[in-house]
Amino acid sequence: MRTIEHWIGGQSVTANPGRTSAVFNPATGEQTAELQLASVETVNQAVAAAKAAFETWGNASLSQRTKVLFAFREIVNARIDELATAISDEHGKIVSDARGEVQRGLEVVEYACGVPTLLKGEYSDQVSDGVDLFSYRQPLGVVVGITPFNFPAMVPMWMFPMAIATGNTFILKPSERDPSASMLLAQMWRDAGLPDGVFNVVHGDVEAVNTLLDHPDVAAVSFVGSTPIAKQIHARAIASGKRVQALGGAKNHSIILPDADIDFAAQHLVAAAFGSAGERCMAISASIMVGGIAEPLLDRIATMAREVKVGNGRNPEAEMGPVITKASKDRIESLITSGAAQGANLVVDGRGYTVEGFENGFFVGPTVIDGVTTDMDVYQQEIFGPVLSNIRAASVDEAIALINANPFGNGTAIFTSSGEAARRFHREVKVGMIGINVPIPVPMAYYSFGGWKDSLFGDHHIHGPEGVRFYTRAKAITQRWPAPRTDAAASFHFPTAK
């Protein structure tokens, strides 16, 4: 059995082995590795390594930093298939989808390569007589990323390229369910010439996370995961005086208006609901069909849902893989059962799905539930599986009101050919990321990613310009270089410009 260790100070480290957790291949249902879980001592060792590395990395020139970032970009790009396969084997998603997530992560690396421009400060000449004022931003120190299972490469890559480019040192606490991608990324940083201790990985559970959150030498925490944990992380990190951004769960709605292109909408809804087995924080999990489009659209969606090719992530023919764990499969199937029991109509039922040759895999088939109402469990809970719940609405106003009443506000989309309806939608909806005929509106790296309401705690979105701000703090310097003269005496009143 393969053992997965921590990565501290530029090397693989076995520290205090004792507690471990099992890593599975969700397609076969078999355990593939044993993961070491960090104790308090291991976490302290990682923080000490990152703190020591900050002394030099925080002062490294912008050209030294960008040289490493460009090299890292080239290495990840060259080894993208190796990363994608490792992700697929532990997460279950199809390899082409895994490649896509690495690609989206690389976009953040590419944005971070522009850090000399991103960190340019401001300068005001002669704000008072003989006085100039300028500002620039400095790194925070040791910063931490705690990440979910569903994007084991992309979500950490939302964080660490920005943190490292801006001069911080980084400790990643990845999901314990698919940890291998983070170890590969650590080796790639080493190969790119990143000094030891700038990027570290500690594996673990609540013990490791709480040690990081309480540690006096950790300056900031970026978290992405489910809403209950995001809330806890936010409160605990704030209580210990840290800067924190904690992105939570989602229930992403898509409105389909009667004037939408019906085939286009059907294809995109099926891909957005069932791609990656619905385990995307931007997956469409609720559709709101307005007026008469519901019957013909549901017919098309049901036909296409039954035709989705479900299989092992390494099968190039497969369009959708298994879900992450047996417990997840059981939870999703019991939610589908609750939908039927509470009066919804199971148009396509994915319970009890098996894939030939992978009978022990954690598969759930694409599922379409119509006649869903807001009091049902399938609507109230984040299912995080291949389940599309449909609500019927009489008007666009009713559809917008439904979205705004939902506690989550990560992503949403509208399918329409009306510019007027689309404009009203994007202005009125209380959601952070909005698609117009684009079902999964994940912004590019040079914008920032983040939801509203229970989908994000903290005031900064992640990566892009907000990432630069999150990982740095500003200094404003007021300077005077007086020539020898007699009229420059100090005054005791509050400084005002002359």
Residue 167 has which token pair?
A: 């001069």
269-298: which residues touch ligand NAD (CB under 6 A)?
281
User: Which three-class secondary structure string do you get for 177-198?
Assistant: CCCHHHHHHHHHHHHHCCCCCC
Does the protein bind ligand NAD through residue 455 (CB under 6 A)?
Answer: yes
Does the protein bind ligand NAD through residue 189 (CB under 6 A)?
Answer: no
- CB nearer ligand NAD, residue 60 or residue 238: 238
Residue 40 has which token pair?
A: 């308090």
Residues 6 or more apart whose Cβ sits within 8 Å of residue 55: none
Angle between helices 227-239 and 206-214 (to 10 degrees): 30
Binding mask 148-167 for ligand NAD (x = CB under 6 A): xxxx---x------------
Least distance (Å) from ligand NAD to the CB of residue 79?
23
With beta carbons less than 8 A apart as the criterion, state whether 266 and 388 touch. Answer: no
Strands of 243-247's sheet in order across: 11-13, 6-8, 199-201, 169-173, 142-146, 218-224, 243-247, 456-457
Q: What angle do CA 334, 338, 342 make, to 5 degrees?
A: 175
Binding mask 399-418 for ligand NAD (x = CB under 6 A): -----------x--------
Size of the site for ligand NAD (CB under 6 A): 27
C-beta nearest to ligand NAD: residue: 225
Helix (H) or strand (E) holding 331: helix 326-341
- CB nearer ligand NAD, residue 169 or residue 245: 245
Does the protein bind ligand NAD through residue 245 (CB under 6 A)?
Answer: no
Task: Give me the catalytic one of 86, 281, 294, 298.
Answer: 281
Does the protein bind ligand NAD through residue 226 (CB under 6 A)?
Answer: yes
Does the protein bind ligand NAD through residue 53 (CB under 6 A)?
Answer: no
d(CA 281, CA 247): 10
Closest CA to 283 of 249, 259, 244, 247: 249
Does the protein bind ligand NAD through residue 206 (CB under 6 A)?
Answer: yes
Among 38, 146, 183, 271, binds ligand NAD (CB under 6 A): 146
With beta carbons less than 8 A apart as the criterion, state whether 7 and 201 touch. Answer: yes
Has 113 been annotated as catalytic? no
- Which residue stretch of 43-51, 58-66, 181-189, 204-212 sits at the interface with ligand NAD (rule: CB under 6 A)? 204-212
- CB nearer ligand NAD, residue 139 or residue 179: 179
| Residues forming the site for ligand NAD (CB under 6 A) | 146-151, 155, 173, 175-176, 205-206, 209, 224-226, 229, 247-250, 281, 382, 384, 410, 451, 455
User: Catalytic site residues?
Assistant: 281
